[in-house]
Chains A and B, each alone.
Chain A
Amino acid sequence: MNNITKNHIKDKLFSATGIFSTLIGLILLAVFIGDIIVEGAGRINWDFITGLPSRKAEKAGIYTAMIGTVWVLVLTTIISFPIGVSAGIYLEEYAKKGRLSRLLEVNISNLAGVPSIIYGLLGLEIFVRILGFGNSLLAGSMTLSLLILPIIIVATRESIKAVPQSIRDASFAMGATKWQTIQYQVLPASFGGILTGIILALSRAVGEAAPLIVVGALAYVPFVPSSPMSEFSVLPIQIFNWISRPQHEFLVNAAAAIIILLIITFIMNGIAMYLRSRWQKKIKW
C-alpha cells in the first residue's frame, strides 16, 4: 500500500470519526430524554401539575414550584431587560473608545465566565442580608438578573452592530437627535436580535438551581407565593430535592417534573431560534 492510498484511508477514517463525534452527543441526549419520558410521562396528570408538595411521593405535585418559576421569570425579565438593553445601547452607541469602554468590555466578558454559584453568594450577602430582602422571590430574581445581564448585553450589542451606519446617517441628516435615531431607527431594526438574546438568557435563568439554593430558595414550600417578598421554590430545586431522596417513587416524580422543565426550556429555545432565522431573513440592507 503506497502513501497516497494510506493518506486517503486516513482521510476517510477521520470523516467517519467526525460524523460519529457530531452525532454521539445528540444520540446520548436522545437516549437520556427517552429514558426520562419512559420513566416520568406516566406520572404527569392534572393532579401532579396542580398538586401541592407532599411527603408522600404519589400525592406530591409541582404547583408551587411551577408558580415560583413563573414569578422568577417575570421578575427577572422586569429587572434585567431594561438594564441589559440600556447597557448594550450605551456600549455600542455612546461609549467612546477609551479606558472606560475597554474596562466595561473586559469586565462583562469576565462576568460571563463567573460560575453561577458565585452569583448566589453575592445575592446571599447583598440582597438577602444587607438589603434585608430575606429568602424572597425578589432576592432570587435580582441574583438571576445579575447572572444573565452579560448575555443580554452581548446579544443587544451584536444586534445593534448589525444595523448599518447609513441608516443612522440618514436619520441624523433629517435632523434627528442621537436618542431619536436610536429610538426610531436602531432599536426597531435590531429588536428581533435583542429579543432572541433575552429569551435565550431567560431560558438559562429558568434552569438555574445553584444560585437560588444559595440565596435560600426552599425545597418545601406548601403555599403559592403571593408577592415578591414571599419565600419560594422553583422547578429545578423541586427536581433536585426529589432526586436527593432514596425512594424510587420520588425519582419518578423528578423525571415527570424534568419533562415539564425541558418542555419549557425547549419551547423558549425554539422561539428564540425561530425569531433569529425570521429576523435574519426579513432584513436585507
Chain B
Amino acid sequence: MKRTRETVIEKFLLSSALITILTTVGIISVLAFEAVKFFREVSIIDFFTDTQWTPLFTKKHFGILPLLSGTFLTSAIAIAFALPIGLSIAIYLSEYAPKRFREFIKPALELLAAVPTVVYGFFALTVVTPFLQKIIPGMSGFNSLSAGLVMGIMIIPIISSLSEDALRAVPNSLREAAYGMGSTRFQTAIKVAVPAASSGIVVSVILAISRAIGETMIVAIAAGQQPRLTLNPLVPVETLTAYIVQVSLGDVPHNSLEYRTIFAAGITLFVFTFALNNISHWIKNKYREKYE
C-alpha cells in the first residue's frame, strides 16, 4: 500500500518533469509543421535572397532579410550600449565595491529587468525618441536607435549580474598574486580577473544577445512596422518579433499564407536564439571547474 503510493507519486512527479520535454517538442513541431506548409508556397531561395517583405500587400514579396536586418540592428545597438556599462558594473561590484553597497545595489539593478517591456516601449517612444530628435534633426518618430538604447537598459542586469558571478568565482589567490606583484586594483581586474572569468562573461553577453533578439514589445512600439533592408538607425524598421505582433493584431484568416508567415518568421527567430543558447551552454560546460 505504502509502496504503491510512493510509486504513484514518483510517476506523477516524473510526468510533470516530462511536460518540459513536451513543450520543446511542441515548439519545434508546431514551427516546423507550419513552416513546411509555408515553404510549399514560397521558394526557400526567394525567402533568403529577396530584399523585400510585403506579405500583407497585393504585390507579395517574401524576403526575410529586411526583418533580419531590423532584428540585428536593434540588437546590435542594445548590446553596444549595454556591454560597456554592464561589464563596468560587474567589475566594479566584484573588485571595488564594499560588500554593503553590493548587497544593496544588486536587487535594485534586478528591478531593471523586472519592469514589463511594454513600459520600456512607452519610454522609448515618448521620452527617448523626442529627446534624440532634438539632438539628431530629421530622425523619424519610429527608429531602431531609440528602441535599441532602451532595450540596452533592459539587458544591463543580464550582463552585469552573470559577469559578476563569473568574476567572483575567480579564486582570490590569483588576485593576491597580482597585488603581490604591485598591481593596482584596476590592473588586477583587467589583466587577471577578467581574463580568468572570460568564459562566464562571454556566456552573459551571448544570453543578452539572445534576449535582445527575442524582445518584442519595445521594438513593436518604438522601432516601427516597416520592413526595410537598412543599417540606418534613424528610420523605421521592423523586427521578426514585431512582424508577428503586427499580424496577430490584425484579422488574418487561419490556414492562409499570411498566417503561415508568422510561423516562418517564428522559426527563423527560434533557430537564432536556440543556437545562441546552446553555444552559451557549450562554453559554460567546456570551461567549468577550471579552478577547482
Contacts and interface: CB of A to CB of B under 8 A. Distances in A.
The number of chain A residues touching the other chain, given as a range, is 35 or more
A115 B269 contact: yes
B16 A108 contact: no
B114 A113 contact: no
Contact of A7 (B6, B118, B187, B189): B187
Contacts of A110: 24, 274, 277-278, 281
A217 to B, nearest CB: 9
B214 A15 contact: no
Contact of A113 (B33, B207, B266): B207
B270 interface: yes
A104 B184 contact: no
B192 interface: no
B30 A22 contact: no
B281 to A, nearest CB: 6
Contacts of B105: 22
Main secondary structure of the interface of A (DSSP, over half): helix
Nearest to A129: B254
B46 interface: no
8 contacts: A21-B88, A26-B109, A35-B126, A109-B277, A118-B214, A118-B266, A204-B114, A207-B115
Interface of A: 7-8, 10-11, 14-15, 17-22, 24-26, 28-29, 31-32, 35-36, 39, 82-84, 86-87, 89-91, 94-95, 103-104, 106-111, 113-122, 124-126, 129, 146, 149-150, 153, 177-179, 200, 203-204, 206-210, 213-214, 216, 219, 236, 239-240, 243-244, 251, 254-255, 258, 261-262, 265-266, 269, 273
Interface of B: 2, 5-6, 9-10, 12-14, 16-17, 19-21, 23-24, 26-27, 30-31, 33-34, 84-86, 88-89, 91-93, 96-97, 105, 107-109, 111-112, 114-119, 121-123, 125-127, 153, 156-157, 184-187, 189, 207, 210-211, 213-217, 220-221, 241, 244-245, 248-249, 254, 262-263, 266, 269-270, 273-274, 276-278, 281
